[in-house]
Amino acid sequence: MRAVVFSRYGDESVLELTERPAPTPADGEVLVEVRAAGVNPVDWKHREGEVRNDRPFPLGMGWDVAGVVRSSVPGGPAVGEAVYGMLPLPYGGAYQDLCVLPAAAVAPKPSRLSFAEAAGVPLAALTARQALEAADVTAGMRVLVHAGAGGVGHFAVQFARLLGAHVTATSSARNLDFLRRLGVDAPLDRATARPGSGSFDVVLDTVGGPVQHASWRLLRPGGTLVTLPEPVDEAHRIPGVTALRVIVAPDGEALRGIGELIDSGAVHVEVQEILPLRKAAEAHRTSRAGRVRGKLVLGL
């Protein structure tokens, strides 16, 4: 089978499209014929060595997958069923013709989505959902989502609105209308706008670094800062503010519910571009540049 792998940590040039043996499912795993694989920032962080695992080189790439079940387990999805899911971190393996993942990590593909659109959902949507759950977002709360037009951000703003929160989100100027279409109450140009200090019950930081540092003062006493790309920087902690990091976990049942929201029209999936598998390096360069609206996807 075709697979994108890398044999040393480095820039995009270390990625290789090669032939590999097909994977063999272990107990509790399903074999999926991959039709599309999502691209996330964690992918290039894995390639660069920021996210590592204990497996020997060459290492596989990618965690988001949409495809067709080729072998299953008792109680699992049917052979031939169209599914989508997320491979467990930190082991990648979605950028290839066949992949294995736990049966509990997959769900039926939303019927209104193509395979490419569905592949853009799992990791980002689960991250957004789990982050809002960790912050215990409820109706009437004021929520700020940094980079609201990005992969995680565009799901987070929609989920927060569905929970009844008042949603503010930052983006580049070109994406402000996109945020409005997603239902954001207060879209802010990140280059010029300055959110008010002490204005929010929850801030979701999808960026890290200076954005995390500046987020503390935006929270009211008793508020919650959720950071995704990096640990909480204790040097900037403000008394009275709760801060936590969320690392996404696969969850097939949650994806089933997310799929129902998508099929009902309540949640929109934005895919900026679909590239062929041979252009995985180009997808990584685009993702790393940090100007993606929604998601990038590799079609197989």
User: Would strands 242-245 and 219-227 be described as parallel, antiparallel, or unpaired?
Assistant: parallel
In tens, the pLDDT along 106-139 reads: 999 999 999 999 999 999 999 999 999 999 999 9
Instruction: Tell me the pTM.
Output: 0.98
In tens, the pLDDT along 252-268 reads: 999 999 999 999 999 99
Cα–chain center distance at 220: 27
Q: Does domain 124-245 have CATH number 3.40.50.720?
A: yes
User: Would strands 59-60 and 82-86 be described as parallel, antiparallel, or unpaired?
Assistant: unpaired
In tens, the pLDDT along 197-255 reads: 999 999 999 999 999 999 999 999 999 999 999 999 999 999 999 999 999 999 999 99
Boundaries of every domain in the chain: 2-121+269-299, 124-245
Dmax (CA) for the chain in angstroms is 55
pLDDT of 89: 87
* pLDDT beyond 90 at 164: yes
Q: Does domain 2-121+269-299 have CATH number 3.90.180.10?
A: yes
For residues 101 and 85, give the distance between their C-alpha atoms in angstroms, rounded to a whole number: 8
In tens, the pLDDT along 136-157 reads: 999 999 999 999 999 999 999 9
Phi-psi region of 38 (alpha: psi -120 to 50; beta: other; left: phi over 0): beta
* pLDDT beyond 90 at 277: yes
Confidence of residue 196 (pLDDT cuts 50, 70, 90): confident
For residues 80 and 72, give the distance between their C-alpha atoms in angstroms, rounded to a whole number: 10
In tens, the pLDDT along 30-84 reads: 999 999 999 999 999 999 999 888 899 999 999 999 999 999 999 999 999 999 9
